[in-house]
A and B are shown apart, each in its own frame.
Chain A
Amino acid sequence: MRFLSLIAALLAGLVAGLGLTALVARDGIVFDRRQLGAWSFAPRIGSELIDPYARARMLVSGELPLANGEGFSLVASVDENGETLSARCTYRVSGPLPAARFWTLTITTPNGQLLDTPLRRSSFTSAEVLRFAGEPFAIEIGARPLPGNWLPTPASGAFLLTLRLYETPLSATATVLDPAMLPRVERVGCTA
């Protein structure tokens, strides 16, 4: 009886250990992920200093992160109010941007795949975006065509926005980044 109980304890430990590893590799525990308004970022993912949990998640997810020497990326899966970004709603991304030589804003599925939209429009770059005199940049995000810089969403489901800043002093000073320096992701409206 005691022997069987020991075997059961060993097996339970084995299953729990493997299960926990599979879970963190898929969903990720990133210890140094920081949240700034709608945006989150992991400062060390693009360097050798990446922690083993973030490394496991990066390898399993197939992500190609920006190296620290290239710049920095921020990901939004929620809007300013913490609500998950949904294809049922329209959003506006606007406001200030940290200093960078170039930036790009890309829309993907939650597992990082580009959307297969008829226009193949899945991102804007700082060189492409239309700006109106005296106003900060604004990108309109929604399933139906919107005036201005329109980024189409998938037909349904959740999505992610990734803001990449190329050659920015941000990576060196990431720890003191202020949400007021970043664009806001505001929900404009939703369909029932």
Chain B
Amino acid sequence: MHRMTLLLHLFIALVIAGLVHLGGLFALPRTTTDDVFSTLSREVTGSGIALVPEERVRTLRFVDPNVAIGVCRFDLAMGPFRVRTGLSETFLAVVFAREQSGIITSVSDRAATSGALDVVFATPEQLRRISELDESGEAIEEIRVPSPNRTGIAIIKVLVDRPSGRANAETVLRAVQCGSEALPG
């Protein structure tokens, strides 16, 4: 075969390999269902928080066994999503994530006021509407976080600094309130 033809076909093979590789890389998140965020999302069977049992947490890969985990699912089409939790004696964080994608953002208990962490996760349009409804001069104690995604999960983690602390951590998680809130007209 002519050398130029061979080089041309080699070039075509390289271009196809590059395109397929990049296409596969960006399509991969849409095809996986074993990622930890999809696994945690499946733990939620109803509304409100689902406590992930300790034995289940221990089966997750690259997870800290010293955390108690609760999960809520959100759909911002139903309105802004609120997570309200009391505090733990150790460390508590709310992590917003999306199945087949990854972490969106997180809020730790450092942002808590008056002994509670109150986070509102909403689309930028919903946040604008909430701001319009604010009473002027009134202090806002909730943390408002804009969401780039309509659906996803909130992972609430409480650090268990010693084995005897797990019951307390799970009590904090069971009391977490999470759900959608309709915005008034």
**Chain A contact residues, CB within 8 Å of chain B:** 1-2, 5-6, 8-10, 12-14, 16-18, 20-22, 24-25, 46-48, 50, 52-53, 55-56, 58-70, 101-102, 104, 106, 108, 111-114, 122-123, 125-128, 162, 164, 166-167
Contacts and interface: CB of A to CB of B under 8 A. Distances in A.
B61 A112 contact: yes
Given A55-B102, A126-B161, A61 B61 contact: yes
Contact of B24 (A18, A47, A108): A18
A52 B26 CA distance: 7
Interface stretch (B30-38, B42-50, B121-129, B168-176): B30-38
B133 interface: no
Given A18-B21, A62-B34, 10 more contacts: A8-B9, A10-B13, A13-B15, A16-B21, A48-B105, A50-B102, A55-B101, A62-B35, A64-B62, A123-B65
A113 B36 CA distance: 13
Closest 9 CB pairs of A and B: A17-B20, A13-B16, A69-B106, A67-B106, A21-B24, A112-B61, A112-B62, A127-B161, A63-B62
20 contacts: A6-B12, A12-B16, A13-B13, A18-B24, A20-B21, A25-B25, A52-B25, A55-B102, A59-B35, A62-B36, A64-B61, A65-B62, A69-B107, A69-B108, A70-B157, A102-B91, A102-B159, A104-B159, A108-B62, A167-B108
Contacts of A111: 61
A25 B40 CA distance: 21
- Interface size class on chain B is 35 or more
A13 to B, nearest CB: 3
Contacts of B140: none
Interface string B134-163: 000000000000001000000001011110
Q: Which of B18, B20, B162 has the most CB of A within 10 A?
A: B20
Given A70-B93, A112-B61, A47 B25 contact: no
Contacts of B157: 70
